[in-house]
């Protein structure tokens, strides 16, 4: 969570999951040091210690104005009475039906008996409603202690998972200073490590700032060439330097300094492509499913939050805790399970993100708040795994450099490069056919894919009105009150 109060004060809350205390660097490798296929994604070992409940309660305790019981009641109602699934939700539930059945040895609410899910069917989660009531009545202890915690730990023990009572009791969120910087006069406030998002976003913005993007135009070959070459360098740095700052020294100030970012782009030549195999991390001064959730909120007083939270892949590892009704994550895959070995998003990891007991895994989450002339200007973020960073990057440029309104900036076609693999991914609507040809002639290896990111954002207009952007790539929506 990135938070900016109406008076301009900003902070962040890190409620990223942690590795269990039994975890170790080689837990997903066999005796020969080879990665055990699927272990970091599809087993009980894939789950980190849950942090979202503690995070929400910690934020509410410090900044909440309404009683917890009132805040949580709508969620209890939705879980207990159910809600109609959308067409996209029905499709996803049907897609993962066999996975749910494979890893759970009893009925789960996400599997419909007898027939596939269809749009308009009601999804009810009565066990989840019971867990939410326990949190309502007992706060943090309603989840990290008592019957809910016992159900989680017992299911872990039975199925080879490593999360214990001690892990749950020891978990606590951390308030951290945001990473901040400036781009064309706009102040950027974003998430610090163990998220790589804020550092990477500021690096990208600093790398492209010296160039006339508005003059070059939106997603023209020249603009794309610059942005992709910056992305390659940033993701190379991510792989080497980013990790949990409670365990490794992350040279944040060096990485985001203008001098360093400009030095990283000194070998950039417009119209030319640098092969990823010839690019490596730089040396900064003083010296990381795309099924994530993001929401951007601005209240009537001008307080703003950008919140990104995730189970990692779609429905995590598909484990549903019996009697408690919630899904477990497979966040352990976001560690570097072996140096140089790509995770499920193709991201290369290094020593800084190696597994260790109680360590938080690296993420790409990039909840961000932008100021203009000292005033709140934009709240933005996205799901999308490794594409989160580039989705937020492009959305900000769409507004600041290409003069788009918020909805157009969110809806505009996107592209993505993450250093390795050396592929330029793009949505169908991202490039003109002639531009695609020109990029191929430059030497890029292009690969069209489905949706990249699902940005949700709010911009504050000069007259004080809120201008939302809800991504049409998902079931996203904007609402006022």
Domains and CATH numbers, the chain: 19-172+317-349 (no CATH), 176-290+364-470 (1.10.246.130)
User: What sections of 104-220 are H helices per DSSP?
Assistant: 126-138, 141-144, 146-158, 165-170, 197-208, 213-216
Structure token pair of residue 90: 């029905």
Q: Residue 240: phi, psi to the nearest 5?
A: -90, -40
**One-character DSSP codes across 45-96:** GGPPBP-HHHHHHHHHHHH--S-HHHHHHHHHHHHHH-EEPPHHHHHHHHHT
3-class DSSP state for residue 211?
coil
Q: Which residue has the tokens 């009132």?
A: 70
For 45, 238, 308, 337, the CA distances from 196, given in Å and listed in that order, are 24, 7, 13, 17
Neighbours of 17 (CB within 10 A): 25
Beta bridge partners of 183: 186
CA angle 231–39–163, rounded 5-degree value? 100
**pLDDT recorded at residue 345:** 54
Give the helix ranges, DSSP H, for 160-297: 165-170, 197-208, 213-216, 221-241, 252-256, 258-264
pLDDT per residue, tens digit, the chain (481 aa), is 999 999 999 999 999 999 999 999 999 999 999 999 999 999 999 999 999 999 999 999 999 999 999 999 999 999 999 999 999 999 999 999 999 999 999 899 999 988 999 999 999 999 999 999 999 999 999 999 999 999 999 999 999 999 999 999 999 999 999 999 999 999 999 999 999 999 999 999 999 999 999 999 999 999 999 999 999 999 999 989 999 999 999 999 999 999 999 999 999 999 999 888 877 777 666 443 556 889 999 999 999 999 999 998 889 999 999 999 999 999 999 998 887 666 655 555 678 899 999 999 999 999 999 999 999 999 999 998 899 999 999 999 999 999 999 999 999 999 999 998 899 999 999 999 999 999 999 999 999 999 999 999 999 999 999 999 999 999 999 988 6
In this structure, are residues 378 and 399 in contact, taking their beta carbons and an 8 Å threshold?
yes
* CA 403 to chain CA centroid, nearest Å: 26
- pTM of the predicted model, to two decimals? 0.93
Neighbours of 173 (CB within 10 A): 19
Which is nearest to 13 in space by CA: 361, 223, 306, 336?
306
pLDDT, residue 168, reads 98
Closest CA to 193 of 242, 257, 253: 242
Number of other residues whose CB lies within 10 A of the CB of residue 439: 21
Report the pLDDT value the prediction gives residue 280, as an integer from 0 to 100: 72
**292 catalytic residue (yes or no):** yes
Catalytic residue among 292, 308, 309, 436: 292
Tokens 């992305």, residue located = 231
Across 232-384, the runs of DSSP E, i.e. the strands, are: 292-298, 304-310, 368-372, 375-381
DSSP annotation of 192: P
Q: Report the sign of the C-alpha dihedral through residues 121, 127, 132, 137, in that order.
A: positive
pLDDT value, residue 288:
38
Pairwise CA distance, residues 95 & 82, whole Å = 21
Q: For residues 368 and 381, is the Cβ–Cβ distance under 8 A?
A: yes
Q: Which residues make Cβ contacts (< 8 Å) with residue 271, sequence separation at least 6? A: 222, 225, 442
CA dist., res. 343 & res. 290, Å (int) = 12
18 neighbors 168 (Cβ within 8 angstroms): no
How far apart, in whole angstroms, are the C-alpha atoms of residue 258 and residue 133? 49
Q: Judge contact between 279 and 237, C-beta under 8 A.
A: no
pLDDT score for 114: 86
**What is residue 207's predicted lDDT score, i.e. its pLDDT?**
98
Cα 52 to Cα 66: distance, rounded to the nearest angstrom: 19
What's the rounded Cα separation, in Å, for the pair 270 and 14? 38
Closest CA to 248 of 25, 431, 476: 25
* Distance (Å, whole) CA 126 – CA 109: 9
């Amino acid at each position: 969570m990135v938070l900016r109060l109406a008076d301009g004060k900003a902070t962040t809350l890190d409620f990223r999951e942690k590795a269990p205390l039994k975890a170790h660097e080689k837990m997903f490798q066999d005796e020969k040091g080879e990665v055990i296929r699927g272990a970091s994604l599809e087993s009980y070992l894939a789950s980190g210690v849950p942090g979202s409940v503690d995070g929400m309660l910690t934020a509410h305790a410090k900044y909440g104005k309404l009683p917890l019981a009132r805040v949580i009641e709508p969620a209890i109602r939705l879980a207990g009475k159910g809600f109609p699934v959308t067409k996209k939700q029905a499709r996803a539930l049907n897609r993962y039906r066999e996975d749910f059945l494979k890893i759970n040895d009893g009925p789960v609410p996400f599997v419909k008996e007898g027939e596939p899910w269809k749009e308009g069917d009601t999804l009810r989660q009565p066990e989840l409603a019971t867990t939410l009531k326990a949190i309502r009545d007992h706060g943090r202890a309603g989840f990290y202690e008592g019957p809910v915690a016992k159900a989680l730990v017992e299911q872990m023990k039975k199925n080879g998972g490593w999360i214990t009572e001690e892990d749950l009791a020891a978990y606590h969120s951390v308030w951290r200073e945001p990473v901040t910087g400036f781009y064309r006069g706009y102040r950027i406030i974003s998430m610090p490590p163990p998220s790589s998002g804020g550092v990477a976003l500021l690096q990208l913005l600093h790398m492209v700032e010296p160039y006339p993007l508005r003059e070059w135009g939106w997603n023209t070959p020249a603009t794309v060439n610059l942005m992709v070459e910056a992305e390659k360098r940033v993701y190379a740095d991510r792989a080497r330097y980013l990790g949990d700052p409670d365990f490794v020294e992350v040279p944040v100030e060096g990485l985001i300094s203008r001098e360093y970012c400009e030095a990283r782009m000194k070998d950039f030549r417009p119209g030319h492509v640098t092969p990823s195999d010839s690019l490596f991390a730089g040396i900064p001064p003083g010296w990381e499913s795309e099924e994530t959730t993001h929401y951007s909120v601005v209240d009537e007083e001008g307080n703003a939050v950008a919140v990104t939270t995730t189970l990692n892949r779609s429905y995590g590892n598909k484990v549903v805790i019996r009697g408690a009704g919630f899904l477990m994550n497979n966040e352990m895959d976001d560690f570097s399970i072996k140096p140089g070995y790509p995770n499920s998003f193709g991201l290369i990891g290094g020593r800084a993100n190696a597994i260790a007991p109680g360590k938080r895994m690296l993420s790409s989450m990039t909840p961000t708040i932008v100021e203009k002339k000292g005033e709140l200007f934009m709240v933005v973020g996205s799901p999308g795994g490794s594409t989160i960073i580039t989705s937020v990057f492009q959305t900000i440029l769409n507004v600041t450099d290409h003069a788009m309104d918020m909805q157009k900036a969110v809806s505009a076609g996107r592209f993505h490069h993450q250093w390795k693999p050396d592929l330029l991914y793009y949505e169908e609507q991202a490039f003109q056919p002639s531009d695609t040809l020109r990029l191929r002639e430059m030497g890029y290896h292009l690969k069209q894919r489905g949706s990249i990111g699902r940005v949700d954002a709010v911009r504050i207009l000069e007259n004080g009105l809120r201008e939302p952007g809800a991504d049409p790539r998902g079931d996203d929506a904007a609402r006022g009150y």
